[in-house]
Amino acid sequence: MSMMQTILTAYGLDENTAKVKPFGTGLINHTWLVNSGDDNFILQRINHNIFKAPQQIADNLHMIGTYLAEKYPDYLFVMPERTLGNEDMLHLPDSGYYRSFNFVKNSHSIDVVNSTQQAYEAAAQFGRFTRLLAGFPSERLNTTLPDFHNLTLRYAQFEDALKNGNQERIKEAETIIDYLKSQKNIADTYEEICRSGEFKKRVTHHDTKISNVLFDDNDNGLCVIDLDTVMPGYFISDVGDMMRTYLSPVNEEEKDFSRITIRNEYFNAIRAGYLSEMSAELTEKEKQHFVYAGKFMIYMQALRFITDHLNNDQYYGAAYEGHNFVRANNQAVLLKLLIEKESELSF
């Protein structure tokens, strides 16, 4: 039996009638769309090298799903389907962990934000998710990726790569390395945030790119998906990643950096959408750090890409020579542009 048939069988599907094709653009997990008659499923293989304890993800989804179903029964929360053996995931010792979700009917996702309504709706959905879970004790959640958005650690990993990484690449990358070092104040502010006590740890999504929101046919937001990185965290993670991925008309893959721009109206849409849900939750101090959130996430992503480049692409992989170098430089340009606009965008 083929591997795919083994997986499909566990979910009561048959390779002879089901159509399976790759789906989405995620860098970490593998995703397929499975069509069987009138039914569509999303099948996913969890990257076990990165998510070391997939059961912790399943347990988090279970805790959150149970809480929301009880307190907010109308809220659309997409839980993985159980296998025929009544397990929340399928574990194949040779190839990893798989799970399946029912495809939400009349929903679609998008890869690029191309209207302010989409940005507003997405921000409202991520804000709503955190707000509805404000009464849930976030410390109960498993930390599925320890130190995922710990900027102090990301900076230390960057410094480590500067010592132990690929020497040739380090030389070639001097300009961006110097630039990122010069922006270390962004990491220092993060340390102050951690110490301050004025920033609350809430249930945070940690991957708020636009493809993680489902929309209906009128581009109204329906729900958020891709919940593997839902953990206790600061709001700057979610707001910052929206800024990182919605403000510019082109994404981290763009090689023509002249196309990277900051669209003020998209910033306003993110802020209005997020605050429509989270205004009463956030402290004044947190609100003052709204623009900082963007700097925090863009800087962290630039550090992560250049660190990976210097470490010979161990984490993200590379589709072409210098891929992570391009991505890092792309994010550095975005960071510069945001810093130039900082006072204009602040409250």
What are the residues binding ligand GN1 (CB under 6 A)? 26-28, 50, 207, 252, 301
C-alpha separations of 139 from 60, 62, 72 in Å: 11, 15, 20
Q: For Mg ion, which residue has the nearest CB?
A: 207
Site size toward Mg ion, by CB under 5 A: 2
> From CA 303, how far away is CA 107, in angstroms rounded?
34
Angle between helices 290-310 and 323-340 (to 10 degrees): 160
Identified binder of Mg ion from the candidate list 77, 122, 132, 226, rule CB under 5 A: 226
The piece of 106-114, 171-179, 185-193, 201-209 that touches Mg ion (CB under 5 A) is 201-209
In DSSP notation, 221-267 reads EEEE---TT-EEE-HHHHHHHHHHHHSSSS-TT-S-GGG----HHHH
For Mg ion, the binding residues in 71-130 under the rule CB under 5 A are none
CB 28, min distance to ligand GN1, A: 3
Counting Cα atoms < 13 Å in the Cβ hemisphere of 154 gives 26
Closest approach of Cβ 6 to Mg ion, in Å?
25
Closest approach, Cβ 89 to ligand GN1, in A, equals 17
Query: How far apart are CB 207 and Mg ion at their closest, in Å?
Result: 4
Give me the least distance between CB of 66 and ligand GN1, in Å please. 25
Figure out which of the listed residues 51, 176, 190, 207 binds Mg ion, where binding follows CB under 5 A.
207
Scan residues 246-265 and list those touching Mg ion (CB under 5 A).
Answer: none
Please give the radius of gyration of the chain, using alpha carbons only, rounded to the nearest integer.
20
Q: 40: which strand partners?
A: 35
- Residue 303 CA from chain centroid, whole number: 16
Residues within the interface to Mg ion (CB under 5 A): 207, 226
